[in-house]
């Protein structure tokens, strides 16, 4: 598919609270290097800055980041601040708290509720903001998120946070959070072939409640933080050929097709891949193609991988 004139507007919009965002955004994790965190080669700084600036030029106004997105030489928040401040008025920067990493790159103990203020303030400092647009609480295997989410709700009341979201949650956690404060988004691992009944239930509940569902690793699949493996099912490849598109674009288009409340945040540090990802928002699958990919998604092998 031609990408020369396609911008993020082609994907349509959704509103996070009172913040309208285009449905194809940018995940900032891979801006720091060739793989997540300290696992790969640190990125070329100028190239990462160029990706961020080009994303805004292409109409992307939803960027997902975190203070713990850093590699040996790069920090996603610092890159965003350098490339885009002063920030465009319509740009929505979404960050997350909960996990903790030492300066060495090693993962530390998950944040306690009383630690979340410090994590929020660190994001504010790195991004150069006086408030954060949206903060997701990433659940770190705890059974209940009430105390952690309540701590963030207090920071929202203070004005440090505009809107709240949750991540890596089950349906019961969504109910727990919405009883405390409004939830504008849920960020869970989800994508074509990453199927589970619980994941589908969260997707459905978000649609019913008008909450954005924001899948991560929707393209990388089993590659997770290491990135996509380059292996695509024959069905995905066939649909891609029919549209003169890439398999990655088909996966993004299928994900967006799961509902108008579904947002995509594919991550990349490559300007060409960025343009392809944005263009995927204009790809419209036929009902037959969607049905074939839905069947692939529900296949027992997919369930086993999830």
Q: What is the pLDDT of residue 3?
A: 62
Q: What is the pLDDT of residue 231?
A: 59
Range name among 129-133, 175-179, 191-195, 298-302 with the lowest pLDDT average: 298-302
The structure tokens listed for 250 are: 């088909």
Q: What is the pLDDT of residue 233?
A: 85
Q: What is the pLDDT of residue 304?
A: 37
- Residue range 229-249, pLDDT digits in tens: 555 689 999 999 999 999 999
> Which position has the higher pLDDT, 260 or 43?
260
- Mean pLDDT computed over 161-171: 98
Fold designation for 15-231+255-283: TIM Barrel (3.20.20)
pLDDT surpasses 50 at 306: no
Residues with catalytic roles: 69
pLDDT surpasses 60 at 193: yes
Mean pLDDT over each residue of the chain, to the nearest integer:
92
DSSP structure string for 38-98? TSSPBPPHHHHHHHHHHHHHTT--EEE--TT-B-SS-BHHHHHHHHHPSPPTT-EEEEEES
Q: What is the pLDDT of residue 305?
A: 41
Domain borders along the chain are 15-231+255-283
In Å, what is the CA distance from 143 to each residue of 77, 114, 116, 140, 173?
30, 18, 18, 9, 9
- Residue range 106-146, pLDDT digits in tens: 888 889 999 999 999 999 999 999 999 999 999 998 999 99
pLDDT surpasses 80 at 34: no
What number of other Cβ atoms are within 10 A of residue 116's Cβ? 22
Q: What is the pLDDT of residue 219?
A: 86
pLDDT surpasses 70 at 40: no
> Which position has the higher pLDDT, 5 or 84?
84
Cβ pair 59, 7 in contact under 8 A? yes
- Mean pLDDT computed over 65-90: 96
pLDDT surpasses 50 at 303: no
Cβ pair 215, 262 in contact under 8 A? yes
Q: What is the pLDDT of residue 162?
A: 98
Q: How far is CA 148 from the centre of its chain?
A: 21
pLDDT surpasses 60 at 217: yes
Comparing CA positions, the residue from 88, 90, 93 lying closest to residue 66 is: 93
């Amino acid at each position: 598919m031609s990408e020369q004139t396609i911008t993020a507007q082609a994907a349509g919009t959704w509103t996070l609270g009172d913040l309208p965002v285009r449905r194809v955004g940018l995940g900032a994790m891979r801006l720091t290097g060739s793989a997540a965190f300290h696992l790969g080669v640190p990125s070329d700084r100028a190239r990462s800055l160029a990706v961020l600036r080009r994303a805004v030029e292409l109409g992307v106004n939803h960027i997902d980041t975190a203070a713990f997105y850093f590699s040996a030489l790069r920090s996603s928040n610092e890159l965003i601040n350098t490339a885009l401040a002063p920030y465009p008025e319509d740009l929505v920067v979404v960050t997350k708290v909960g996990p903790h990493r030492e300066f060495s790159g090693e993962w530390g103990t998950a944040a306690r509720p009383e630690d979340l203020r410090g994590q929020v303030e660190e994001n504010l400092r790195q991004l150069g903001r006086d408030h954060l647009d949206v903060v997701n609480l990433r659940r770190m295997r705890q059974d209940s998120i009430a105390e952690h989410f309540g701590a963030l709700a207090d920071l929202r009341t203070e004005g440090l946070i505009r809107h709240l979201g949750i991540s890596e949650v089950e349906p019961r956690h969504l109910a727990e959070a919405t009883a405390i404060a409004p939830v504008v988004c849920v960020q869970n691992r989800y994508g074509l072939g990453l199927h589970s009944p619980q994941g589908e239930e969260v997707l459905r509940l978000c649609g019913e409640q008008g909450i954005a569902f924001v899948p991560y690793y929707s393209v990388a699949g089993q590659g997770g933080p290491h990135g996509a493996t380059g292996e695509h099912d024959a069905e995905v490849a066939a649909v891609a050929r029919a549209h003169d598109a890439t398999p990655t674009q088909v996966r993004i288009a299928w994900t967006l097709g799961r509902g108008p409340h579904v947002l995509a945040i594919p991550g990349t540090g490559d300007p060409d891949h960025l343009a392809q990802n944005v263009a995927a928002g204009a790809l419209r699958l036929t009902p037959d193609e969607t049905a074939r990919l839905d069947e692939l998604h529900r296949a027992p092998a997919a369930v086993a991988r999830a």
